[in-house]
Amino acid sequence: MLDVDFVRSRFPALDGEWIFFDNAGGSQILTPVLERMRDYLVGCNVQHGASYAVSHEAGARLRAATAAMATYVNAADPSEIVMGPSSTQLLRILAGSLVQTLQPGDEIIVTNCDHEANIGPWVELERSGVRVKVWRLDPDSYQLRLEDLEQLLTARTRLVAVTHVSNVLGSIHPIAEIARAVHERGAMICVDGVAYAPHRPVDVRELDADFYVFSFYKVYGPHHALLYGKREHLLRLPGMNHYFIAPTDVPYKFQPGSVNYELSYAMLGLWDYLDELAARHSAAGLADDPRERLRFLFERIARHEERLAARLLAFLAEKPSVRVIGTATSDRNQRVPTISFVVDGRASDTITTAVDRHKIGIRYGHFYAKRLIDDLGLQAQNGVVRVSMVHYNTLDEVERLIEALDPLLKA
């Protein structure tokens, strides 16, 4: 069992009166992350690369943070970690670099269920003669079918862009299996892990992802993000920094204006928290293997989140007027606790605004997965109602949400 009381004690915002169920839009921040950020700004807030000692210390801290994030995603080398302001910006930098290596007629495959961050930059490459194909979600099963992808892949396919978890549906896509199919055709895969990373350990080598991106502000940190790229790809791709930055200078050649030092260093606080959590859950024997410790902790996180999802989904299933948009199972192997639904005859915004007065934060809309909402015919209802939970939420909070929703969902 997850020690939820301890978990909540490490998130200062949870001391207030609001319940936060909009975590897929942004999670609350950890105390150790705030402490690391302050420590950097007070102790070594100087430019890197100078000869004096404080600058050396500042550079060492950034290298330590980059190495820690490399371990967090199981990258082979810290140089495979590019940190930047947002997943959207990092994907645009990647697309701008990659297009310089493509020829007219080369093909990129996107899905219709990704966040626009992993669709728009690739669609825009059509202006350079790249052909963009769409891998469409099955509207009945809410699944991406591998056989549909196989029909789209050709000898001209250069990249497949796909989400690990839909930020609307909450369903987990089989990235390792998809990557095998993509690599058999000699193409690369770019994975948006933004909606996955808060809930499960990321292992880019196990997935065999060529590129993988997620946002720290949805993984209990500040507004900052990470792009992983296999080193061989990052070395051969043109940089987006000044002309005199060496082609071998990764990740710096993909960080125009440099990286935000204090936000990068702050993410060491995530490891501080996980170390604390491990100590609370008898994981001391795993101390020498950080990846094994991650798996140990996230299994407990996943089990807790599964219980939260099960309770809410069971309640929604009792309401004839409600349609869950996505799989109705709470199985942690198939979904994360991001749950979307619509109500017959009701605009989704009327549900969320009615819940607001209970000091419970949920959300409605398309969540920047507008192509999916349009394809499912849900825009007329102002999109979906989304409840997105994480491991610091509790069953008591779910019960309070159910109490607020119940009179709104009467048939």
Give the whole-angstrom CA distance, residue 130 versus residue 105.
5
SS3 content of the chain, % helix, strand, coil (to 5): 45, 15, 40
Q: b vs e for 190-206, b when ≥16 Cβ sit within 10 Å of the residue's Cβ?
A: bbbbbbbbbbbbbbbee
- What type of residue is 264? S
Q: Report pLDDT digits (tens) over 76-92.
A: 999 999 999 999 999 99
**Residue 315 is inside which H or E element, if any?**
helix 290-317
Q: Which of helix, strand or coil describes residue 242?
A: coil
What pLDDT shows up at residue 410? 80
Give me the torsion for CA of 135, 147, 207, 267, rounded to 10°.
30
For 101-115, the DSSP string reads: G--TT-EEEEESSS-
- Mean pLDDT for the stretch of residues 307-324: 97
Residue 107 banded pLDDT, cuts 50, 70, 90 = very high
Q: What is the pLDDT of residue 281?
A: 85
Report pLDDT for 287.
61
Radius of gyration of the CA atoms of the chain, in A = 21
What is the band of 286 on the pLDDT scale with cuts at 50, 70, 90?
low
Across the range 154-181, mean pLDDT stands at 98
Mean pLDDT value of segment 276-286:
78
Domains of the chain, CATH where assigned: 4-29+291-408 (3.90.1150.10), 33-270 (3.40.640.10)
Q: Can you tell me the distance from the alpha carbon of 81 to that of 251, in angstroms, rounded to the nearest whole number?
A: 6
For the stretch 205-217, pLDDT in tens is: 999 999 999 999 9
Q: Contact, 313 vs 328, CB < 8 A?
A: yes
pLDDT of 7 strictly over 90: yes
Q: Which token pair is 404?
A: 């607020």
Classify strands 211-215 and 322-324 as parallel, antiparallel or unpaired.
Answer: unpaired
Beta carbons of 284 and 278 less than 8 angstroms apart: yes
| Number of H-type helices and E-type strands within the chain | 15, 13
**Residues in CB range of 254: below 8 A, 6 or more apart:** 82, 84, 90, 93, 94, 97, 227, 234, 239, 240, 241
> Measured between alpha carbons, how far is 216 from 42 in angstroms, rounded to an integer?
22
Q: What is the per-residue pLDDT across 229-262, written as a single tens digit (0 to 9) for each? A: 999 999 999 999 999 999 999 999 999 999 999 9
The alpha carbon of 301 is separated from its chain's Cα centroid by a whole number of angstroms, namely 16
pLDDT in tens, 362-402: 999 999 999 999 999 999 999 999 999 999 999 999 999 99
Rounded distance between C-alpha atoms, residue 234 and residue 247, angstroms = 9
End-to-end Cα spacing for the chain: 37
Mean pLDDT value across residues 269-282: 92
Q: What is the pTM of this model?
A: 0.97
Short-list 174, 176, 259, CA closest to 216? 259
Please give the Cα distance from 20 to 378 (Å, whole number). Answer: 25
> Could you report the per-residue pLDDT of 32-73, keeping only the tens digit for each?
999 999 999 999 999 999 999 999 999 999 999 999 999 999
**How would you class 244 by CB atoms within 10 Å of its CB: exposed for 0-12, middle for 13-18, buried for 19 or more?**
exposed
Apex 395 CA angle, 391 and 399, nearest 5: 135
d(Cα 39, Cα 267) in Å, to the nearest integer? 12
Q: Residue 3: which pLDDT band, with cuts at 50, 70 and 90?
A: very high
pLDDT, residue 279, reads 87
The predicted structure's pLDDT at residue 378: 98
Rounded mean pLDDT of 193-202? 98
Cβ atoms within 10 Å of 48's Cβ, excluding its own: 17
The residues pairing with 361 across neighbouring beta strands, listed in sequence order, are 20
pLDDT confidence of residue 411 = 58
Q: What is the mean pLDDT of residues 94-100?
A: 98
Beta strands in 223-328 (DSSP E): 225-229, 322-324
| Residue-averaged pLDDT of the chain | 96
